[in-house]
């Protein structure tokens, strides 16, 4: 398969060549990148300094970077380095290809007890280590648990983490944060809480979700949800073993003083079955230079510059995706997962293939999205679809990019860039109806494939 066309612009930051966008949110964008010196694939989180200053997020970003520097554990996403330009901050992270644990639950419905225990053991190992370094995550949930190509669990997203210096004189944290369904009752109560105890509650909810396939506490009304959490009002399904039920009930104890500790979990018979102790580095880490990435008064010696090669070239066709980038989009090395067999099965991103010309794909997406109430902005072979109506989490925003996989085959990727995931799913289901004639189908849909998209 051909590599990226030399006629296309290549953005580089320091020793890294930037590739496609892996995900984006209100304050950051994550891009696939390659270390030009070693050939290693990485993920680079890019933050805009002006946006950070505008929203008074310097403290939170410093905290996230400090946390990532402190943690060196096989079950936590590794941060390699932090760079800064005059306008941006670049956090270079380990790149994992196995997707989210959330996706695994969504596909299987629920996990068997032995498999759930394996992930729970890795989660507890990582959380225990973080706490030993004085770090509390405060937003543990399946969406923040990634899997590498070997199925090893990796905790990510330390944006809400707490360091020891945030603890008040009473020895407690006082910031209410996290995702409601996974938050401990003492966090909601707003009277101060121990971060380690609150993290453990979230781990208990995660274990329940892994084995049940649904949440222990779920209500459409937030106050009703909080009432259930305060009372620990939940019921384990009948397929849970009695020892698993006992452990979950001890973790989901609404009283943090009597809640089981991690030390006690490590000695629990159910937990210890097939347990493997982790091995990891324990280096001394310096946090002295974190302020430097926000400090421009010291000259430009330590600042990197984002530069582009082949600036004179025009983007007459989509970026050609090479084999390594194509593999990086799959679960491990299973390329079949790149091509959705049913367009309705999606989460926060989805993709399909088409043998239509790129210009025709863009035109078709635009003509379908506009009547659905979306403003469409096109930049070469990237599109931004912005919902006109305000949804549950603001305006729905969808980023779309077209890649050339072969001369007559394009890969179209759609990602939720902002807004609510359920609204994204509903939008995509509506959008897919208008795109049926440009989607290339294969596998168990051979009969439909012969009809295909003959543009």
Annotated binding-site members for ATP: 45
Considering Cα of 84, then 68, then 35, then 43, what sign does the dihedral take?
negative
Active site residue 48: no
Tokens of 63: 């905290």
d(CA 59, CA 290): 11
Helix ranges (DSSP H) in 112-194: 113-132, 185-189
Considering Cα of 173, then 175, then 176, then 178, what sign does the dihedral take?
negative
Question: Which residues fall within 8 angstroms of residue 34, CB to CB, at 6 or more apart?
Answer: 16, 17, 19, 40, 41, 42
> Is residue 74 within 8 Å of 147, Cβ to Cβ?
no
d(CA 176, CA 138): 9
d(CA 28, CA 24): 6
One DSSP character per residue, 242-277 reads HHHHHHHHHHT-S-TTTSPPHHHHHT-HHHHTT---
Binding residues: 45
> Is residue 152 within 8 Å of 97, Cβ to Cβ?
no
DSSP 323: H
- CA distances to 188, 193, 197, 227, 286 from 254, rounded to whole Å, are 11, 12, 10, 11, 37
Helix ranges (DSSP H) in 39-138: 49-54, 58-70, 101-108, 113-132
d(CA 438, CA 373): 21
Element housing 324 (H / E): helix 323-328
d(CA 40, CA 314): 28
Please give the span between the terminal C-alpha atoms of the chain, in angstroms, as a whole number.
23
Element housing 443 (H / E): none
d(CA 394, CA 414): 18
Q: Which of 128, 139, 199, 253 is catalytic?
A: 139
> Is residue 139 within 8 Å of 160, Cβ to Cβ?
yes
| Catalytic residue ranges | 139
């Amino acid at each position: 398969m051909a590599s990226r066309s030399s006629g296309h612009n290549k953005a580089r930051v320091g020793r890294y060549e930037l590739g496609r966008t892996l995900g984006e949110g209100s304050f950051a964008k994550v891009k696939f990148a390659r270390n030009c010196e070693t050939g290693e694939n990485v993920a680079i989180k890019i933050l805009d300094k002006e946006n950070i200053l505008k929203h008074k997020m310097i403290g939170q970003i410093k905290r996230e970077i400090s946390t990532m520097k402190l943690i060196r554990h096989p079950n936590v996403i590794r941060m390699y380095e932090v760079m800064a330009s005059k306008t941006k901050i670049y956090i270079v992270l380990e790149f994992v290809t196995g997707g989210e644990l959330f996706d695994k639950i969504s596909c299987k419905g629920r996990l068997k007890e032995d498999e759930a225990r394996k992930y729970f053991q890795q989660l507890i190992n990582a959380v225990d280590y973080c706490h030993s370094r004085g770090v509390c995550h405060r937003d543990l949930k399946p969406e923040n648990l990634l899997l590498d190509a070997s199925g090893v669990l990796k905790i990510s997203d330390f944006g809400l983490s707490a360091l020891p210096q945030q603890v008040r004189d009473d020895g407690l944290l006082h910031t209410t944060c996290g995702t409601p369904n996974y938050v401990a009752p003492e966090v909601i109560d707003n009277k101060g809480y121990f971060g380690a105890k609150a993290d453990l509650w979230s781990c208990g909810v995660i274990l329940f979700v892994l084995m049940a396939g649904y949440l222990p506490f779920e209500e459409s009304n937030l106050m009703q949800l909080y009432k259930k959490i305060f009372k620990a009002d939940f019921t384990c399904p009948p397929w849970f073993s009695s020892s698993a039920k006992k452990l979950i009930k001890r973790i989901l104890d609404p009283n943090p003083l009597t809640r089981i500790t991690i030390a006690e979990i490590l000695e629990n018979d159910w937990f210890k079955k097939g347990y493997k102790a982790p091995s990891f580095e324990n280096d001394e880490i310096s946090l002295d230079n974190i302020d430097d990435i926000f400090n421009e008064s010291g000259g430009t010696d330590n600042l990197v510059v984002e530069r582009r090669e082949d600036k004179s070239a025009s983007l007459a066709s989509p970026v050609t995706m090479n084999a390594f980038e194509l593999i990086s989009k799959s679960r491990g090395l299973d390329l079949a997962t790149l091509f959705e067999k049913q367009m309705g099965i999606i989460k926060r991103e989805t993709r399909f293939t088409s043998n239509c010309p790129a210009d025709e794909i863009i035109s078709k997406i635009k003509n379908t999205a506009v009547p659905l109430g979306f403003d469409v902005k096109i930049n070469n072979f990237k599109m931004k679809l912005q919902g006109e109506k305000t949804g549950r989490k603001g305006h729905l925003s969808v980023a779309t990019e077209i890649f050339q996989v072969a001369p007559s085959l394009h890969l179209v990727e759609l990602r939720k860039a902002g807004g609510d995931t359920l609204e994204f799913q509903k939008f995509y289901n509506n959008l897919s109806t208008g795109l049926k004639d440009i989607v290339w189908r294969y596998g168990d849909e051979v009969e439909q494939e012969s009809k295909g998209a003959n543009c």
